[in-house]
A and B are shown apart, each in its own frame.
Chain A
């Protein structure tokens, strides 16, 4: 009985964890090209989710709402890149940390005023009825998260490997200067990565909102866990984020069950600090050799 509860909690937690993994994957995309990440990514998830909710309320069907949401996310990603990241990268400074936080704050305030401060339900055609698989109950909704996460990650990886533009992306990730010398515009590639990252964030919002509801505060809850996943796995760990995301999701769901829901964030945060202290490049990340 007890084992079954644990199993149940772990599985639903792990499925939630896939959302953190997806947001963390968005960090990886921009980190690869520019060694920068958007500290306001949680706000991007949140406003994209709100935007998609508005589309749904306007009567758009699910299949039209999703691309609309992704497009909006990409646009917002580009805004972050233009306003917050590009100047700092040109100056080779770390100003993007502060600027992306600031832009996130602006998005947060805008969302609060446009869509209100309350959490709102996110309607979806996918049913929330449980299915019984291998002794645990899983809802179609939770399964849709897994399908969506793997679908977009697979598509982006295919894009990077199979298309010319994708190869340019990989080239800039491997060596920015050399890619520039080969005639690839690194600025455009960074823009592309922020656009993709924004879409990924939007999808994360669309997938998670039917389960958790949409509200301005969803940003901070999600972002910390996504940070933990990205850092624990390593910012260049590829699919490592999926494993760590599922692990963290399961851990968190167990922690909130045994310690109380107030503590549900704690394991992720402790894991993050530990990982930073012990393995700054992440469990699946590559160690870099310092050169002078």
Chain B
């Protein structure tokens, strides 16, 4: 409660203060700056969705600002409509074009995504410049601010409009980003493969996030148009994009307050640059800050030398440059570059990230209490182990070029059993798992789950069909807590439509989901660590968490890909116990494992692969004695008739 009061209270105080300013101060210049602050606030909240939550370098946001501005301008000048339709059109243009751009950019990560967005931005500048009949080209487009509901918009009224919109956007985004949607965005950033494998469509969420962020860019563009009442294509270029990135990174990613702080910085920058004294004071402060942080980091050895020194050098350049350069305006890009560089290297969490830590210490805000775990019997009802055929693989093949990784696998997994899949390295176990779970498309053969063909070549569809898997090389969502990792995958709880989520009416659902996720964490002994980030868990706990997350899919078939790999002995014993607990609930398990003791302890049936083919199948004991298995693992025994019998064993 205290936490909610503090957070909401701070929001209320700031917005109330901002709302009363026009009543107290009658300074058109200050009012203009504050109006810009609101517009940039909306713009940066949108940019933060892609840059912060999706974790992608998005260079197209400035294009959506421009396209939104022109859309609003054209609706007013060419169609003669009012402000409300104009703002709606601006938002819609951002939404639709953002969605369209996200479609091809969808499969792209990192540099390719940045490139796709960069070319889109360049293309839209070209279009705005060249479609002269519509946009007026380089001549620009003049428009006037139409009245809203019959009222002429004086500067204070327009300011209030912008502030109200910022407050609305703020509220909606706060609700959305705290919901399953926001978690899915972050999960996507940390591991797209696992996001798909957990039945959360990467497709849907990436497009949604990008379209949403872009629509806010469009809305900000509409307000921008009515603020300046004159538009030029060259206002929306790469330079502005860099400044916007500066705002988000400096303010702090993944934070509404960060976007607000960033917007403040952007609005104040021109003043900072035109006033030499102010510039020197701020660059001096920056230098002192970088120096203090750098020295502290070096002494405590929390940062690398480069991370400590580079910001000091960059800020030092700023201070020294400020003494010699005649006109700071001429060097504005270099100044932005040095500031951004210092922040990216030295303060990656941004101002708000830093402040949030500080404030959390100051106020000792506890996390909102978690609900009691849900009842496991309702969550994962015990299913009868009837031994019927659950998964049937028939003559399954997967070739990579000339390599026959899986070469004609026919296997039946029976309901309620633990089916071991073992074999030497390179025998094709992992490929089988990847084909079943949809990461790879089979070269030939069929797969049926309960007599129904299993979807092929789509992690997402296979997950939807009731198969869950873990990963040999952990694919956790590192920046999310253990609880959130499970919540992302949780099936069958989140039913409220997007509008309800946006309005913050989905809290009950969220509590129910938390209760279920906690029950699953309790099952694998991680309830106490529910609020620890996945990347900060011990290696063993991370392995357990992978299983809890897969269980959140409430699967018919659970595929465990080497769940004991790299675990210390006590952890292996625990792992065996957890798998038995899951087995007792009647969930069918395919277990890929190297530890023979784990396999013997757990499995009902074991299939042994070598060279992509089955060489033995049976109970663990039968398989262990099977001559071909012994040969595959230990090599050919020395032939007695050969003199000396000194054939070396393969390693």
Contact = CB atoms under 8 A, between A and B. Distances in A.
Contacts of B439: 290, 292
A99 B57 contact: no
B345 to A, nearest CB: 7
Given A110-B334, A113-B331, A276-B108, A102 B344 contact: yes
Interface stretch (A69-77, A189-197, A259-267): A259-267
Contacts of B103: 277
Given A90-B304, A99-B341, A265-B122, 20 more contacts: A87-B306, A87-B310, A94-B111, A98-B344, A101-B57, A102-B242, A102-B337, A103-B337, A106-B333, A106-B334, A109-B334, A110-B334, A227-B118, A263-B126, A265-B123, A265-B126, A272-B115, A273-B119, A280-B112, A292-B471
B336 interface: yes
Contact of A262 (B120, B130, B471): B130
B104 interface: yes
Interface residues of B, number: 53
Given A83-B310, A227-B119, A231-B112, A113 B337 contact: no
Contacts of A274: 104
B187 to A, nearest CB: 15
A283 interface: no
A97 interface: yes
Interface in A250-287: 260, 262-263, 265-266, 268-270, 272-274, 276-277, 280
B307 interface: yes
Interface in B146-175: none
Contacts of B110: 94, 97
Contact of A290 (B129, B193, B330, B344): B193
Contact of B344 (A36, A99, A260, A277): A99
CB-based closest 7 A-B pairs: A277-B104, A109-B334, A109-B333, A106-B337, A269-B119, A105-B337, A262-B130
Contact of A106 (B119, B307, B341): B341
Contacts, number: 128
Nearest to B433: A292
A84 B644 CA distance: 62
Nearest to B56: A94
B543 to A, nearest CB: 15
Interface string B454-492: 000000000000000001110100000000000000000
Nearest to B249: A98
A105 B333 contact: yes
Given A94-B111, A269-B123, A277-B104, A105 B334 contact: yes
A39 interface: yes
28 contacts: A39-B114, A83-B310, A94-B55, A98-B344, A99-B341, A101-B242, A102-B341, A103-B341, A105-B333, A105-B340, A106-B333, A109-B337, A113-B331, A224-B119, A224-B122, A227-B119, A228-B119, A262-B126, A263-B130, A265-B126, A269-B123, A273-B105, A274-B104, A276-B112, A277-B107, A289-B400, A292-B434, A292-B471
A280 B130 CA distance: 29
Nearest to B437: A292
Interface string A15-38: 000000000000000000000110
A150 to B, nearest CB: 26
A83 B342 CA distance: 11
A122 interface: no
A128 B459 CA distance: 59
Contacts of A103: 337, 341
B539 interface: no
B337 A36 contact: no
A270 B104 CA distance: 11
Contacts of A95: 344, 348
Contacts of A272: 115-116, 119
A284 to B, nearest CB: 16
B332 interface: yes
A39 B105 CA distance: 18
B32 to A, nearest CB: 27
B279 interface: no
A108 interface: yes
Given A83-B310, A97-B111, A103-B341, A273 B331 contact: no
A102 B310 CA distance: 14
Contact of A276 (B104, B335, B338): B104
Interface on chain B toward A: helix, strand, loop, or mixed SS?
helix
Nearest to A105: B337
A87 B581 CA distance: 44
Contacts of A228: 119
A193 B377 CA distance: 59
Interface in B309-347: 310, 330-338, 340-341, 344-345
A259 to B, nearest CB: 9
A290 B336 CA distance: 38
B238 interface: yes
Contacts of A220: 238
A256 to B, nearest CB: 12
A137 interface: no
A289 B334 CA distance: 41
A109 B238 CA distance: 14
B547 interface: no
B115 to A, nearest CB: 5
Interface string B209-242: 0000000000000000000000000000010001
B648 to A, nearest CB: 25
Given A99-B341, A277-B104, A266 B129 contact: no
Contacts of B118: 224, 227
A117 B338 CA distance: 20
B307 A87 contact: yes
B122 A273 contact: no
Contacts of A106: 333-334, 337-338, 341
Contacts of B331: 109, 113
Contacts of B557: none
A267 to B, nearest CB: 10
A85 to B, nearest CB: 11
B90 interface: no
A276 B126 contact: no
Given A87-B306, A95-B344, A227 B242 contact: no
B245 interface: yes
B473 A292 contact: yes
Contacts of B335: 109
